[in-house]
Amino acid sequence: MTTNAKTEFLTVTRQAFEEQTFIQLTLSKPANSELEYKSIYFKPFQAKSGYRMQCVKRFPTKDITKNLSTSEGLALIEKLLGEELLNGNLFAQGNDWELRFNRKREAKIWKRKASKQQAATLVHNVQKKQWIKPEGNIYLKALGITSAKGKVLDKKYDKYRQINKYIETISHLLDKSSLRNGYRIVDMGSGKGYLTFALYDYLLNTMNIKPKITGVELRGELVDHCNNISNEAGYEGLVFRTGRIEEYPVTTMDMLIALHACDIATDHAIAKGIQAGASVIVCAPCCHKQVRIDMVGSPLFQPMLKHGILLERQAEMLTDAIRALLLEANGYKTKVFEFISSDHTGKNVMITAVRSPKARSRETVLYEIAQLKQQFGLKTHFLETLI
């Protein structure tokens, strides 16, 4: 039954491809909760070299797209289905097909009336999705990312890519949070505002939400510059304030952002987010002086930590690991990941936290923090002193 059901599903998939009636195929439901990606979908497209499959692997914070030949695509579907992913849904012109494996790996197949009637998209857009459109974009031009004609300048392409990646990450995060209507956002250490503007633009113009975003920045000249651009762009809900993060009052906020705020400024920002009960906290740490100076490390680690660069990396890991754990101890589910390739910037670690009733037990997390601190001879992590 199991083999037959899977074989039948693969046969109808192959036929749909050969007859060019294939619209989309989705594999979902990870067999193992440790699997890093959640689902994968396949769409056909007509390339110069012939009919091919676009395969998009969906991770919690990003999508990875690959183009495969038909045979590579079919082989991948055969390999994953029933092994890594337990559900398969084929949408074809004519019929939908569903294959489901249960935990004992027994499969059942269903044939249904087609739910997607449109022809498969055969025109393939080789360009990656642009989350932020450069054309006619006032702030990108004012910030020197695009030319007067709205083209991304060659030397600013990395920055533009970073902006897009950031918006992609936030978009996935918002899908997962319970944040629906409240979009009061504070961006601490907003600097020149590239990412602050992009987020406002995305929420307003793509999501059709009217957010209220406040950028907080130490340097008055940057604040004035950003406010001028915001006025020029007509972004009524986006303002920048001069001030220190640590002195910013704990106001009601739904989302706290702190990207590359220096050293303990990141801790001050996280603490404000937690104290304000923000549903979502996003930070990309910058330098990590406090833990590096305070960490003693057991003699066991000395052969490793006697090298300055390794000490620095270890301090970074410890700093950010404890930040993520402290967020967990305060009711958040967290992720720590590289949000843009290290080819573009070394400061590419991002910590995201979404408030969740399913957050881990505070006691367990505090115990883990205590253990880590003990191993590395760290008396205090600065964030602990704030919350």
Place of tokens 């996280």: 270
66 binds ligand SAM (CB under 6 A): no
3-state secondary structure of 256: strand
Min CB(282)–ligand SAM separation in Å: 11
Question: Contact, 180 vs 252, CB < 8 A?
Answer: no
Long-range pairs, 269-275, Cβ under 8 A, ≥24: 269/188, 269/189, 269/245, 270/323, 270/326, 270/327, 270/383, 271/383, 271/386, 271/387, 272/186, 272/188, 272/245, 272/248, 273/186, 274/327, 274/330, 274/387, 275/250, 275/387
- The residue from 245, 318, 326, 365 that contacts ligand SAM (CB under 6 A) is 245
Tell whether the torsion through CA atoms of 250, 255, 258 and 264 is positive or negative.
positive
Name which of 225 and 260 has its Cβ closer to ligand SAM.
Answer: 260
Min CB(238)–ligand SAM separation in Å: 14
161 binds ligand SAM (CB under 6 A): no
CA–CA gap between residue 100 and residue 381 (Å, rounded): 47
191 binds ligand SAM (CB under 6 A): yes
Min CB(122)–ligand SAM separation in Å: 39
- Binding segment (CB under 6 A) for ligand SAM, from list 26-34, 168-176, 185-193, 316-324: 185-193
Place of tokens 């923090």: 369
Binders of ligand SAM among 255-294, rule CB under 6 A? 259-262, 265, 286
- Binding segment (CB under 6 A) for ligand SAM, from list 43-51, 147-155, 243-251, 349-357: 243-251
User: If binding means CB under 6 A, how many residues of this protein chain bind ligand SAM?
Assistant: 19
387 binds ligand SAM (CB under 6 A): no
167 binds ligand SAM (CB under 6 A): no
218 binds ligand SAM (CB under 6 A): yes
- The residue from 168, 217, 254, 267 that contacts ligand SAM (CB under 6 A) is 217
Min CB(252)–ligand SAM separation in Å: 20
352 binds ligand SAM (CB under 6 A): no
Name which of 85 and 132 has its Cβ closer to ligand SAM.
Answer: 132
3-state secondary structure of 87: strand
- Binding segment (CB under 6 A) for ligand SAM, from list 25-33, 51-59, 211-219, 312-320: 211-219
Min CB(217)–ligand SAM separation in Å: 5
Min CB(90)–ligand SAM separation in Å: 43
383 binds ligand SAM (CB under 6 A): no
Binders of ligand SAM among 220-239, rule CB under 6 A? 222
195 binds ligand SAM (CB under 6 A): yes
Contacts of 24 (CB under 8 A, 6+ apart): 41, 42, 43, 90, 91, 116, 120
Name which of 105 and 244 has its Cβ closer to ligand SAM.
Answer: 244
CA–CA gap between residue 211 and residue 253 (Å, rounded): 11
CA–CA gap between residue 144 and residue 197 (Å, rounded): 13
Angle at 36 between CA 280 and CA 63, to 5 degrees: 70
CA–CA gap between residue 103 and residue 3 (Å, rounded): 15
Report residue 276 as tokens.
């304000």
Min CB(190)–ligand SAM separation in Å: 5
Min CB(20)–ligand SAM separation in Å: 46
Question: Contact, 204 vs 139, CB < 8 A?
Answer: no
Closest-CA residue to 142 (of 217, 241, 232): 232
- How many residues belong to the chain? 387
Which residues of the chain form contacts with ligand SAM (CB under 6 A)? 189-191, 194-195, 216-219, 222, 244-246, 259-262, 265, 286
